[in-house]
Amino acid sequence: MPLSIQHDALLPGRNYIGRWCDAEEGRRFDVTDPATDRVFASVPDSGAAEARAALEAAHAAFPAWRAVPAKQRAQMLKRWNDLIVAHTEDLGRLISREQGKPLAEGRGEVAYAASYVEWFAEEATRANGDVIPAPVPGRRMFALKEPVGVVAAITPWNFPAAMIARKIAPALAAGCTVVAKPAEDTPLTSLALVKLAEEAGLPAGVLNIVTASRERAAEVVDVWLDDARVRKISFTGSTPVGKHLARRSADTLKKLSLELGGNAPFIVFDDADLDAAADGLMTAKFRNGGQTCVSPNRVFVQDAVHDRFVEKLAARIAALKVGPASDDGSQIGPMINAKAVEKIERHILDAVEGGARLVVGGHRLAALGRNFFEPTLLVDVHATMACSCEETFGPVVPVTRFQTEDEVIAAANGTPFGLASYFYSNDVKRIGRVADALDSGLVGVNEGALAAEAAPFGGVKESGYGREGSVHGLDDYMSLKYVCQGQL
Ligand code: ADP
């Protein structure tokens, strides 16, 4: 039985540009359930015309929205948060239906998305500037925080609610207006969130969303990239698309937040608690079936504990239950689409051909459906294999043996990416040294679940720049204005 939604109102199936509306000529594209590969909904296939209309609406709404006192903006965001929480079950089902993750994770994502809305509702009222001691007599000097203007938010499919909430919430809190384009695989959750924002009392034009197929995504986003009225792009997705956005927005010098791909190392030192490390790896690796940008992509285990750790890991991985989100016991759902499964297969094949050994899994689960894949454990993996160089984005754990701390730090940092890294150790001096030495925006020390609305999330190197969440998150949507008053 596919997951059903109780409140039809959460499925508007249209763009929101000051009002609910369709794309030109009624163009639409299909939304597919990755568990069954069946089409179950459709949404507007927008193009340049809809992108322009959304931008006009956001631009027109900006002066009034920035003038709304922060406290009132905060109250609207709090109402939005309350509505999201109140619709947890439906939103969780919608996430699981269009994205495939187990229902418990779908519900968990709703709470995670709401936590950003609540956080930024609170932060809205604390966007304090500075009063600066003047270096000369007769002056008063201020640094004031102002909203940057219209923000374009472009999001991926792996967290259909959380990714868009953590862009829209800080933008609105800061006093910016928004144009958004969700991923083509998962447009429905974001439309449902916008529906609830409308219900929360957000004025028309402040938050606009247009959906588009993969073929038209660039047509929509190019309008925003090329228009000087869009002052900021907030993007989560792949590094090639992030670089394209950075290049193309250079002509109008927009502010950018780019949360891009990762290639997270997970290091187990020989002084670690091996059970805790195995549990932490399971949590970090298999959330959303490995389809997260902070998912450990390379696992390094120190020689003396390698075999014992692999044994513990193998038992845990073999016990995972794969199945559709509609099945209560499922821990791993389908991959998002056929392309994702092909990449996983290619990585495993390449590793095995290069001398890696399959310990658990390694194959499709065709009996469940085209997009299901076995949780997989590979050992004797080398740095040059595809699974070490590219993000696999699937339920594959590739293990590499190492000897020394210096060697593993060099290996961990030997990638153009730097989003998350993890290590397990009980040596207090080593913990300090290794946490300092790892080139990444997030470091988990004896912890596999890092993300929280109160923490800054973002990468270094080719994993991008900007931070989402935390007391720093609002700054990405604001600019500082220095005001100097003389003749006092
Ligand atoms: P993934 O490979 O995980 O789908 P992408 O970076 O391709 O990641 O997609 C993330 C988001 O970027 C999606 O909303 C997608 O539609 C959008 N996107 C993809 N290509 C382009 C492009 N050329 N210009 C603008 N947006 C794009």
Per-residue pLDDT at 31: 98
CA of 184 from ligand 1 middle (Å) equals 9
Task: Please say whether the beta carbons of 16 and 208 come within 8 A.
Answer: yes
Q: Which atom of ligand 1 is nearest to the CA of 155?
A: 14
Per-residue pLDDT at 8: 86
Per-residue pLDDT at 251: 97
Q: Give the pLDDT confidence of 283-299 residue by residue, as tens digits.
A: 999 999 999 999 999 99
Per-residue pLDDT at 4: 83
Q: Which atom of ligand 1 is nearest to the CA of 218?
A: 24
Which residue's structure tokens are 């285990």? 301
State phi, psi for 179 to the nearest 5 degrees.
-120, 135
Measured by CA distance, the residue closest to atom 13 of ligand 1 is 183
CA of 55 from ligand 1 middle (Å) equals 19
Measured by CA distance, the residue closest to atom 22 of ligand 1 is 218
Give, for ligand 1, the residue of 154, 157, 159 to mutate: max count of ligand atoms closer than 8 Å to Cβ.
154
Measured by CA distance, the residue closest to atom 7 of ligand 1 is 238
CA of 183 from ligand 1 middle (Å) equals 7
> What six digits make up the tokens of 407?
């060697």
> What six digits make up the tokens of 449?
């679940």
Q: Give the pLDDT confidence of 354-407 residue by residue, as tens digits.
A: 999 999 999 999 999 999 999 999 999 999 999 999 999 999 999 999 999 999
Q: Which atom of ligand 1 is nearest to the CA of 184?
A: 16
Per-residue pLDDT at 1: 63
DSSP annotation string for 227-257: -TTEEEEEEES-HHHHHHHHHHTGGGT-EEE
Distance CA 38, CA 31 (A): 8
CA of 23 from ligand 1 middle (Å) equals 20
CA of 211 from ligand 1 middle (Å) equals 12
DSSP, collapsed to helix, strand or coil, labels residue 266 as strand
| CA terminus-to-terminus distance, the chain | 74
Residues assigned a catalytic role: 259
Task: Please say whether the beta carbons of 333 and 290 come within 8 A.
Answer: no
Measured by CA distance, the residue closest to atom 21 of ligand 1 is 218
Measured by CA distance, the residue closest to atom 18 of ligand 1 is 217
CA 392 to chain centre: 16
Give, for ligand 1, the residue of 214, 241, 249 to mutate: max count of ligand atoms closer than 8 Å to Cβ.
241
What lies within 8 Å, CB to CB, of 410 at 6+ separation is none
Distance CA 31, CA 44 (A): 11
Residues within 6 Å of ligand 1 by CB: 154-156, 181, 183-184, 214, 217-218, 221, 237-238, 241, 244
Q: Which atom of ligand 1 is nearest to the CA of 183?
A: 14
Q: Which atom of ligand 1 is nearest to the CA of 225?
A: 25
CA of 236 from ligand 1 middle (Å) equals 9
Distance CA 90, CA 104 (A): 12
Distance CA 102, CA 123 (A): 32
Instruction: Give the count of beta carbons closer than 10 Å to the beta carbon of residue 253.
Output: 9
Distance CA 87, CA 317 (A): 33
What lies within 8 Å, CB to CB, of 165 at 6+ separation is 84, 113, 114, 116, 117, 193
**How do strand 255-259 and strand 230-236 relate by DSSP bridges?**
parallel
Task: Please say whether the beta carbons of 106 and 93 come within 8 A.
Answer: yes
Whether this model's ipTM surpasses 0.90 comes out as: yes
Give every residue of the chain whose pLDDT is below 70, as ranges: 1
Measured by CA distance, the residue closest to atom 24 of ligand 1 is 218
What are the angstrom distances between the C-alpha of 97 and each of 186, 324, 339, 381?
Answer: 9, 9, 18, 34
What pTM value is reported for the model? 0.97
Measured by CA distance, the residue closest to atom 4 of ligand 1 is 156
CA of 458 from ligand 1 middle (Å) equals 18
Q: Which atom of ligand 1 is nearest to the CA of 154?
A: 14
